[in-house]
Amino acid sequence: MVEGHRPLELAQLRQAPDHSNLLAARRRSIDLDHHALRDEGIQGRTPGKAYWLMCQSSCCEGQKSALARQHSLSPIRGSPSMQAPLDHLLQTILRHHRASVTSHRKLRILCPVRRLVPTSMTIEKRHEGLPGEGERSDSASVAGIRNALTVDVEDYFHVSALAPSIHRDTWDLRESRVVSNTRRLLALLQENRVRGTFFILGWVAERQPQLVKDIAAGGHEVACHGYSHRLVYEQSPEEFHDETRRSKNLLEDLTGTAVVGYRAASYSIVRKSLWALDALVELGFAYDSSIFPVHHDRYGIPGAARSPHRIITPSGASIAEWPLATAKLLGCSLPVAGGGYFRLLPYWLSRWGLQSINRKECSPFIFYLHPWEIDPGQPRVAASFLSTFRHYTNLDKVERRLTRLLGDFRFGTVRDGLKGLGLLSAT
């Protein structure tokens, strides 16, 4: 165990989340970019998608009802036909922002140290010398904080949302686009002098070994995304152990280096599958990035720690955990970690949420995306309305938004970020 860190007990994960007072949350100073509002074309519209997604994914039922009463909204039911007026929410945020922006700027330097940060480590020490390249001069970047950029390397037909429509036996028969899309991402990262962590699916690595070697040769960290993209809680412990070992060994043979990081398919390490953390420790992984502290129909541990920390496994061992990024907004944990949230939410809202993690919490965040998310020309698969909405919406905007993100924040690998925080050994 790293000195100075207090591991998160599993009992804490099972506690109900602490719902803060919504009125107090409304009155917090919020740092929004008015130019980004205009750029995103939000003013004068009632898109509703972002607000609907926030409520459906991030709030428990009690929070949804309280939030609706707070803003005189009707409960959201049925399809996301956009009953919830996002404009009303934006006006509320902007009203409180205008009233408090001056005092907020004066107090910006008073960043609180989070409770999971070692008490012996000062803010300067936390942010000092985090490895990586690509210094940022944009005002949105917080000096000294390097976040983690991650890519889940899988093809469009591996996605859990489309699984009911795509049988595994047909995977080899479908057009694969993962190589070309991943190479586009590699070129974009090289152009912006950013190194990231690529969680590679074993199924892809087995069929595209040169892609794995090229990722490693580009200075990026290679990490494990399992082998078959089966959800963890749909496997037995034995099945999970065997397929994760198979993928880890394959990646290590291809790169010639130890693979120390893991991310579950669809973030499927949830309360009922925390046993998987013991398997990861046994297999030699040093960190996990599978826990999403939100409500969702497929994943999530609401109330889980939101910052990087060490977690105690069911058997009493410990492993570093970097949860997917969430920002606090009106008492809810708003998912801003990337992926579908990056596509569905307007860029200014994602940017504000990520900035709030850096500025208000003085903590780095972890961001993710998939190669297929920059590919609007991918084959269309007939699926349910919700799956189609989640998978295909705004694919044509992701590459442009990602370019802005790389200019607005500083990024590095997960492994280097955890070393800089003292959660992994420097060796």
**Torsion angle of C-alpha atoms 267, 209, 165, 342, degrees rounded to 10:** 50
Place of tokens 């803003």: 71
Burial of 373 (0-12, 13-18, 19+ CB in 10 A): buried
Residue-level pLDDT at 36? 42
Residue-level pLDDT at 271? 94
Residue closest to 234 by CA, chosen among 270, 277, 208: 270
Residue-level pLDDT at 427? 65
- How far apart, in whole angstroms, are the C-alpha atoms of residue 132 and residue 148? 10
Residue-level pLDDT at 160? 87
CA distances from 372 to 114, 189, 255, 296, 340 (A): 35, 16, 23, 22, 11
Residue-level pLDDT at 309? 97
- Name every residue whose Cβ is closer than 8 Å to that of residue 139 and which is 6 or more positions away in sequence: none
Residue closest to 160 by CA, chosen among 64, 33, 280, 268: 268
- How far apart, in whole angstroms, are the C-alpha atoms of residue 253 and residue 77? 50
Q: What structural domains and CATH numbers belong to the chain?
A: 123-420 (3.20.20.370)
Q: How many Cα neighbours within 13 Å face the side chain of 332?
A: 25
Q: Which two tokens stand for residue 138?
A: 């944009």
Distance from the Cα of residue 102 to its chain's centroid: 31
Q: Which two tokens stand for residue 45?
A: 């519209």
Residue 381, number of CB atoms within 10 A of its CB:
17
Rg of the chain (C-alpha set): 21
Q: What is the pLDDT along the chain (427 residues), one digit of tens a residue?
A: 444 444 554 445 444 444 333 333 333 333 334 444 444 444 433 334 443 444 444 444 444 444 444 444 333 333 333 334 444 445 544 554 444 443 333 333 333 333 333 332 222 223 323 333 333 434 445 557 999 999 999 999 999 888 888 989 999 999 999 999 999 999 999 999 999 999 999 999 999 999 999 999 999 999 999 999 999 999 999 999 999 999 999 999 999 999 999 999 999 999 999 999 999 999 999 999 999 999 887 888 999 999 999 999 999 999 999 999 999 988 888 999 999 999 999 999 999 999 999 999 999 999 999 999 999 999 999 999 988 998 999 999 999 999 999 999 999 999 999 999 999 987 6
**Rounded to a whole number, what is the distance in angstroms from the first to the last CA of the chain?**
15
Q: Which two tokens stand for residue 230?
A: 């089966």
Predicted model pTM: 0.71
- How far apart, in whole angstroms, are the C-alpha atoms of residue 169 and residue 278? 31
Residue closest to 5 by CA, chosen among 376, 332, 354, 318: 318
Residue 346, number of CB atoms within 10 A of its CB:
23
Burial of 72 (0-12, 13-18, 19+ CB in 10 A): exposed
- Name every residue whose Cβ is closer than 8 Å to that of residue 249 and which is 6 or more positions away in sequence: none
Residue-level pLDDT at 426? 73
